[in-house]
A and B are shown apart, each in its own frame.
Chain A
Amino acid sequence: MNTVSRLWRSGWTVRLALLILLAVATLAVAGPAIAPQDPLAQDAASALQEPSWAHLLGTDYLGRDVLSRLFAGAPASLLSALAAAAIGLVLGALPGALSAFVPRVGEWLALRVVDALLALPFILFAIVFAALLGNGLPQATLAIGILVAPGFFRIARAATLRVRDSPYIDAATYLGASAWWVLSRHVWRQVAPNLVVAAVSALGGALLAVASLTFLGIGVQPPAPTWGGMLSSDLGYLGQRPWGPLAPALAIVVTVGALNVVADAARDVLGADAPARQKEAVRV
């Protein structure tokens, strides 16, 4: 809570970003419930309409209410991004911290695996993954989680390496501290702030990745609304409804932007605890 209040006090852009994230989080939980209309109800007579009081953001090519689809599509997009970031955190951070303490062979192998993952073409790999495991949102989420893991690995490893070689760790060891004590008391305190920052920016990256995949039709079946899927269906009607992609595109870009602002602010706020912080974002 202390961190949140310090974030809140670090400027109006951060405050705005936090409010946006609060609104987005509300949508992720209650989006389908507060959607004003049925997101799947088609009405051919009122297709591709301009915004009006009946349809605040207009209607899509099947006459469905865009605002309702935006609300109803929020959980699928946001919660799977959250899950992917969490998977990446677990798969990346733990091996990353441990890699500083294992024999050289293990270290070398871990680094080669990370190199390999970083060299993979991101979206293509996720597509392959979904094709092989069956086209569903859990599969796509897992693929994105694996792909953001190297970012966490490198951040956790870098932070751990910085601590490992510092004199006070040697001192603790000479005083008889166990490996577990050193890890949980000293290493964790250095690594945790960096991981929080990495997790926030990874969340933004994961959200973009989920939107990209659902845009391509990976992870969801057509009638179900997602932000990426809405973009792709609007694409076919740019001639009739050129502002159509604006709503879902803004929803994605504004959320990712707010996450980036908060990640930057968190880096500064938490940076006081981490003397030599590393500025490294997880990139899609």
Chain B
Amino acid sequence: MTIVTAEAPPAPAIGAEPRVRSAVPVLRTVLATLATAVAVFLLATFATFALGAASGSNPAAVALGEVATQADIDRLNHQFGLDRPFLVRYLDWIAGAVTGQLGTSWFTGIPVADSIAQAFPVSLSIAAGATIIALVGGFAGGVLAAVTRGGVVDRLITLLSTVAATVPAFVAAIGLILLFAYAIPLFPVAGYTPPDKSVGAWLLCLVLPSAALSLDAGADIARQLRTSLVGTLGENFIVGARVHGLGPARIVFRHALPIASGPALSTLGVHAPRLVGGAVITEVIFGMPGLGQLANRSALQGDVPVVQGVLLVTIAVIVAVGAVLNLVISRAGGTERSAA
């Protein structure tokens, strides 16, 4: 019986001839990414918009609570344009989003775009820090495990990465706080210092949240890299390089690693949504005023425009990161990320 893989990519043109760098596969990748991006975007925004409309939540109930009279409700609904038909509002919102207008908060009246602009650098710093830690830690662990394959170090790294991948975000974060903020007070327990105030304090306050967020991705990269590197090191051309008298370090880093790192890098693509949008818990635990905390606080207040704005921006970032990673991977190793 032939085993049909789950989601076979439509045309494996890249895999067939890795050395031919024509524009067609890249264009295909771009188009496929765009199609997914548009689908994600429309589906997510339309669904949340429809939900908001169906739930009948309104700014008067959110801002004024129980004391809101019908006149208040009508007045605020008119002020926020909620008395218009649903589709008109949706198209208006999308059109506004393109020009950077995301409406105003029902609760505070502050423009949503301003709140997001304030919170975005915080989330970006944490996500960037987490990516760096995951890449450095994951590659170091993966390479080390692959070259000591079967040994104690390999088994230790495999065990560590399994633990890191299974422990939920909040447990890891609390563990890190207890260890590196209370027991060994190296880093601040919580809070964010912007870089324009003090670059040192900014870096210091980012270490623990970034580390907590990076665990999952770092463990995955390490495991993925170990598997592909072990496979690559068994190839004939590696034996050939050894016969030519090249040193082990040169073989691993110059010959095997560039080929083996493709799958590990595409792991990062899978993790990108979690790094960007999964930071909610990390931000709340570490008291970081980022997008996740903004979304959480607004959600608890029922502040619909803010929550929708955060979701829109997050999805836009995820889609953009995914597109860039797709391109990098398709150009670097010709290893195609699975289409679905």
Contact = CB atoms under 8 A, between A and B. Distances in A.
B314 A121 contact: yes
B280 A216 contact: yes
A8 B157 CA distance: 30
Given A133-B55, A216-B284, A278 B36 contact: no
A78 interface: no
Interface string B134-163: 000000000000000000000000000000
Q: Could you tell me the dominant secondary structure of chain A's interface residues? A: helix
Nearest to B277: A121
B276 to A, nearest CB: 6
Contacts of A133: 51, 55
A128 B300 CA distance: 10
A128 B276 contact: no
A138 interface: no
A215 B276 contact: no
Interface string A261-284: 000000000000001101010000
Interface stretch (A41-49, A56-64, A108-116, A171-179): A108-116
Contact of B278 (A112, A121, A239): A121
A132 B52 contact: yes
B44 A120 contact: yes
Interface residues of A, number: 56
Contacts of A30: none
Contact of A127 (B52, B168, B285, B307): B307
Contacts of A232: 284
Contact of A253 (B5, B171, B278, B300): B171
Contacts of A165: 2, 4
Contact of B311 (A124, A135, A242): A124
A70 interface: no
Contacts of A249: 170-171, 174
Contacts of B340: 111, 114-115, 154
Interface stretch (B194-202, B223-231, B256-264, B291-299): B291-299
Given A165-B4, A166-B1, A119 B174 contact: no
Interface string B291-322: 01001101110111001101100110011001
Interface stretch (A11-19, A86-94, A156-164): A156-164
B interface, how many residues as a size bin?
35 or more
A124 B182 contact: no
B36 A119 contact: yes
B117 interface: no
A119 B1 contact: no
B298 to A, nearest CB: 7
Interface string A190-209: 00000000000000000010
Contacts, number: 165
Contacts of B296: 127, 216-218
Contacts of B36: 112, 115-116, 119
Contacts of A7: none
Nearest to A155: B6
A245 B340 CA distance: 38
B318 A121 contact: yes
B4 A216 contact: no
A258 to B, nearest CB: 12
Nearest to A117: B43
A233 interface: no
Given A115-B36, A134-B57, A158-B5, 19 more contacts: A115-B40, A116-B43, A119-B318, A121-B278, A123-B278, A124-B277, A124-B310, A128-B48, A128-B310, A129-B48, A129-B51, A131-B298, A131-B304, A133-B51, A135-B302, A166-B1, A212-B169, A253-B167, A276-B3
Interface of B: 1-7, 35-36, 39-40, 43-44, 48, 51-52, 55, 57, 166-171, 174, 177-178, 182, 189, 273-274, 276-278, 280-281, 284-285, 292, 295-296, 298-300, 302-304, 307-308, 310-311, 314-315, 318-319, 322, 340
Q: Which 10 A-B pairs have the closest CB atoms?
A: A121-B277, A131-B299, A158-B6, A116-B40, A112-B39, A132-B51, A124-B277, A116-B43, A127-B299, A276-B3
Interface of A: 111-117, 119-125, 127-135, 154, 157-158, 161-162, 165-167, 208, 211-212, 215-218, 228, 231-232, 235, 238-239, 242, 245, 249, 252-253, 256-257, 260, 275-276, 278, 280
28 contacts: A115-B36, A115-B340, A119-B273, A119-B318, A120-B40, A120-B273, A128-B295, A128-B308, A131-B302, A131-B304, A132-B48, A132-B51, A132-B307, A134-B302, A135-B299, A157-B7, A161-B6, A162-B4, A208-B168, A216-B281, A218-B300, A228-B170, A238-B174, A239-B182, A252-B171, A253-B166, A253-B171, A276-B1
